Structure formats: C-alpha cells, structure tokens
Structure 1
Amino acid sequence: MTKTRTRSKPSAKREAILDAAQRLFLDEGYAATSMDAVAARAGVSKATIYAHFEGKDQLFAAIMHRRCEASFVFATPDDSFDAAKTFTTYGERLLTLLMTPDALALYRVVVAESVRTPELAQAFYDTGPTRGKAAISASVVRLQDRGELVAEVEPMVIADQFIGMLRAETYHRALLGLPVGRPLAETVAAAVQTLLRAYGTR
C-alpha cells in the first residue's frame, strides 16, 4: 500500500516569506539578499521572519524542503512495485524536479555562493542530496530483502550511483543552458536498465 502522511497546513505568512526569499535568492543571489529585503517583499516584519527561521541558511533549506515535498520526490513508492518500477518512479520524480527552471537556478546559486557561504552548501546538501539518497537507500534495502537486488553492496552506494546516472548528460546540458535533445524518459530508462544489470538478481 502507498504510504500517506498527514500534513499540517502551512501558515500564509510562512509561505509568503518563502516565496519572497526564493525570488530574491534567484534574482539577487544568496549573499546579496538580506532579511530586511525578504521582509519587505513578503510584507512582514523581520521579527516575523525570525519567528519562523533562525537565519538565511535555514530559510534556504526550507525552500528546498518545500520544493521536494511538493513534488513527492522522496515519498516511498508502493511496496508492491518491483525493482524496475521502484527506480523508474524515483528517477522520473527526481529528474523532473531537477530539470525545472527554478531548481536549476537554485542549484546555480548554491554553486556560485558555496565557497563564500559554506552554510548554504550544507543546507542544500542536507535538504536535497542527503534526503534523496536516504529515501532511495531505504527502498534498496526493501528490494534486497526481497531478493531483487544483490545484498553484498551497501544500499547507499547503489542509491548514489543511480542518482549520479540521472544527473549526467541531460541534466548537465540543462544546467549550462544548452539544448537538451534526449527525452527525460530515455535518461531514466537507461539509468534503471544499467542499475539492474549491475545489481539485479532477476
């Protein structure tokens, strides 16, 4: 059965703060965006921002978390799915999210600012890549327990290699603003096929 979770409805002010911060981060850059500017754009006081977020890094992490939750990218696929369908589901969700214009723009912000602001890089890594690998790794464990994947390889290694294949040619071309000729479905299918050839037991 597909797992569901009950989510509390986010407050309007919190959503306004996140919307304003995301737009400023994309337009002005992380370092140039002040909490005063976020407050002005969101139409709230700076005290209201700090009531929700301790600092800019937590604010950025919340933006990343919201995007991932909205796309259900880390939601566990149905337990009845076999290995091919499980990885295809994760791959389609993840690559679709990564290829959106805002996701590409946010990643460019992180890369540009990471040396000067390592807390931003850490917030991004913890909220995005770390959570993604953990989610896929949990499904790998389930598939190993069912005998569909070899048990001798660490689940996190399999998850990391799968994500690496998804973030290859198609994603890199999009990140650089170059034309993307290969359909996303083909990239996902090739990654799943390669993974199952390497670690599948059926």
Structure 2
Amino acid sequence: MVGKPQQRTKRTQERILAAARDLFENNGYEATSVDAVATRAGVAKATVFAHFTDKASLLIAAKIQRLEALGADMRATIDDSATDCPARYLAQVFRPWLALYREDPEFARLFLSQSTLNDGPWTRQFLEVCGLLEAHAARAVARLHGEGRLRPELDPETVTQGILAFYYHMIVGHSLGALPDAGTQESLFDRLIETWMHGCAPPAGA
C-alpha cells in the first residue's frame, strides 16, 4: 500500500506536470520558465527540481505517456497489419511519429539533440522509448523480408538503417522549414519506401 508521503509526492509531481503541460502548450517551451511552472503548480522552484532534473526533463515527462502509447500502437501495427501493400504498411508504422514531431517542433529539436540531455530517470526513459522505436522498425522490415516483400538483393539491416536515417532527415527538414507540411514530408517518405519494396504505393493520407 502506498503511504501518505508517497501519495503526496505523486500528487505534487502530477500537479507540476499539469502546470508544465499547460504552459508549454500555451506559451511554448522556450518562453516557459521553471519559475513559471513552479508558480502555476503552487510549489517552490526547488520542489520542481526535486522531481525533474531540468526543464528538458519536464518536457520529456509531459510527453512520455504519448510516446509510450505510440510505441505500443507501433508494435501492434507491425504485428497485426496486412503487408500486401508494404509501402502502406510502413506508412502506418511511421506516420504517427512524424505527426507528433510536426505538431511540436520544440520537442522535435529535443529529440534531435539527445546527446545534450542531462542524465536522469526521465531522460533514460525517453532514450529507452527512442531505442524501442528503432528496434520496432527493424522488426517491421524483418517481417517484410520474411514475407518476400523486400527486394531480394537488399539487406534488411541496411534498409532499416536507411529508413531510420530518412525518418530523422524528415524531422530535421520540417524543423528547418525545408519540408513544411505533412503532404510534402509523407510523399517524400513514400517515394523512398517504394524503391525498396514489392507492392503498391500508399494512397495519399494513408
């Protein structure tokens, strides 16, 4: 049974996270200070730092549930979706992640600068989710390879790394304004996948 001090700690953490989510959503990450989060949550600034290493950890914590849900959905898609159209299959695997980083460019920049993050429980949890994304991508390509959907002259590991590299490229491209909208980004991704797969191309908005 969770004791009262632990319950109070959990409630305080939830209050800080709720304040951070609200401020990040309304003011943006850069314009939101830890002082503002503490004031909104009704706690001391030191209390915020007692739960979260820094502001980046707050942003990670605010997003982690959605990331974990996306990871679970990704695994289910990989295991359960039909692969008769490989390009559509991989679009279903990756497009929800691309949408997340389009919606929140500041979080995308944090994702792209993982090596600069301070160590801590939230950072480690975030890096674990990122690692699972790469492992799931390998599983998706391995399934296509096993079912004969991958062009036979191609190595599955190389294809996986190519897809992931292009995935990161599209996040960077959107952050810099070179791939300004979903249609441009997804069309580019689709054309890349089509060169590696046997089967149909995904329709627009797949």
User: TM-score interval w.r.t. the shorter chain?
Assistant: 0.5 to 0.7
Q: Structure 1: how far apart are the matches of 2:154 and 2:46? A: 52
Which consecutive unaligned segments of at least 5 residues does structure 2 have? 1-9, 199-206
Distance 1:38 1:67 in 2: 21
Correspondent of 1:27 among 17, 27, 30:
30
1:99 aligns with 2:102: yes
Cα contact 1:76–1:135 (8 A) shared by 2:
no
Q: In structure 2, what is the equivalent of residue 74 of structure 1? A: 74
What are the residue-to-residue correspondences of 1:33-44 with 2, within 5 Å?
33-34=33-34, 37-43=36-42
1:55 counterpart (53, 56, 59): 53
**Number of residue pairs aligned between Structure 1 and Structure 2:** 177
How far apart are 1:105 and its partner, in Å? 1.0
Alpha-carbon distance, 1:128 to partner = 5.0
1:191 aligned partner? 192
Please say which structure displays the higher CA radius of gyration. Answer: 2
More helix by share: 2
1:172 maps to a residue whose letter is V
Question: In 1, Cα distance between the equivalents of 2:137 and 2:113?
Answer: 28
TM-score (norm 1): 0.61
Cα gap change, 1:172/1:49 in structure 2, threshold over 3 Å: closer, same or farther?
A: closer
Taking only the aligned residue pairs, the percentage that are identical comes to 23
Letter in 1 for 2:88: K
In 2, the alpha carbon distance for the partners of 1:61 and 1:151 equals 40
Alignment CA distance shift 1:95-1:110 (3 Å): closer
Residues in 2 aligned to 1:143 and 1:113: alpha-carbon distance in whole angstroms: 30
- Deviation of 1:184 after TM superposition, in Å, equals 3.6
Residue aligning to 1:174? 174
Distance 1:165 1:190 in 2: 11
1:18 corresponds in structure 2 to: 17
CA RMSD of aligned residues (A): 4.2
What TM-score, normalized by structure 2, do the two folds share?
0.60
Please list the CA deviations of residues 5-47 of structure 1 after superposition, one character each: whole Å capped at 9, or x if unmatched: xxxxxx8765543343352881347xxx54x653332345679
3-state SS of paired residue (1:119): coil
